[in-house]
Amino acid sequence: WPALIAVLSLGYLLGSIPFGYVLTKMAGLGDVRSIGSGNIGATNVLRTGNKKLAAATLLLDALKATVAAVVAQLVFGENAGLLAGFAAFIGHLFPIWLGFKGGKGVATYIGMLLGVAPLMVLVFALAWLSVAFITRYSSLSALVATLAIPIVLWILGVEEAALITSAMTAITFWRHKANIERLIAGTESKIGKKG
């Protein structure tokens, strides 16, 4: 139990660091939650017009989950990596520092995969880039990519990872409720577009 609590706490606290919010504030661009979709993730940081800041947000939001997963894996073994990565994902969605109102978890999802199943990042990237190339919708790309991951893991028979990523994908869809409604209505904004 103490080990499990340590793993989950480490993941949650790391995942809780809202890099998009912090970096945008530090760059003097105000509160990212008051622009575009109001989200704290890289897609919305890009709506400030600052590509480097958006890239840094994507990288750091991903790496916080990778670090949590890798450390937990090294100390407690393989499944601990999955749990710590999952906890980081939850931390990003419900960060203690922002009144538990956080992001949608896409970058953190990728970072967790990088820590526990690096080849799955390729599957994610391929799905994301294909959909983004065709549609220019970040949200739709993320939805398709996060759906692909548990499907591939189930096919490969990696049950623990498939189970946890299935839950993460379901949560990701739920967090994209407003995006899905906008996609259906045809009002979702495309990558790099403000609003």
Answer for the pair 134, 107: CB distance below 8 angstroms, yes or no. Answer: no
- Closer residue to ligand G3P in complex, CB, 66/73: 66
In the complex, minimum distance from the CB of residue 125 to ligand G3P, in angstroms, rounded to a whole number:
14
Decide whether 4 or 101 has the Cβ nearer to ligand G3P: 101
Angle at 142 between CA 14 and CA 30, to 5 degrees: 55
Give the nearer residue to ligand G3P in terms of CB position, either 37 or 169.
37
- For residues 66 and 89, what is the distance between their CA atoms, to the nearest angstrom? 10
Nearer to ligand G3P among residue 45 and residue 120 (C-beta): 45
Whether 15 contacts 95, CB under 8 Å: yes
Q: Which amino acid is at 122?
A: L
Q: Name the DSSP letter for residue 191.
A: T
Distance in Å, CB of 58 to ligand G3P, minimum: 9
Residues lying near ligand G3P in the complex (CB under 6 A) are found at: 36-37, 39, 41, 43-44, 104, 106, 138-139, 142, 179
Q: Which two tokens stand for residue 52?
A: 């480097």
Residue 36 or 79 having the CB closest to ligand G3P: 36
Minimum CB–partner distance for residue 79 and ligand G3P (Å): 26
DSSP states of 110-129: HHHHHHH-HHHHHHHHHHHH
Looking at residue 98, the DSSP 8-state letter turns out to be G
CB atoms < 10 A from the CB of 165, how many?
31
Taking the complex as a whole, the smallest distance from the CB of residue 57 to ligand G3P amounts, in Å, to: 10
* C-beta closer to ligand G3P: residue 41 or 102: 41
Q: Shortest approach of ligand G3P to residue 6 CB, angstroms?
A: 29
Other CB atoms closer than 10 Å to residue 69's CB: what's the count?
32
CB of 113 to ligand G3P, least distance (A): 15
Q: Which two structure tokens, joined as six digits, stand for 133?
A: 């190339």
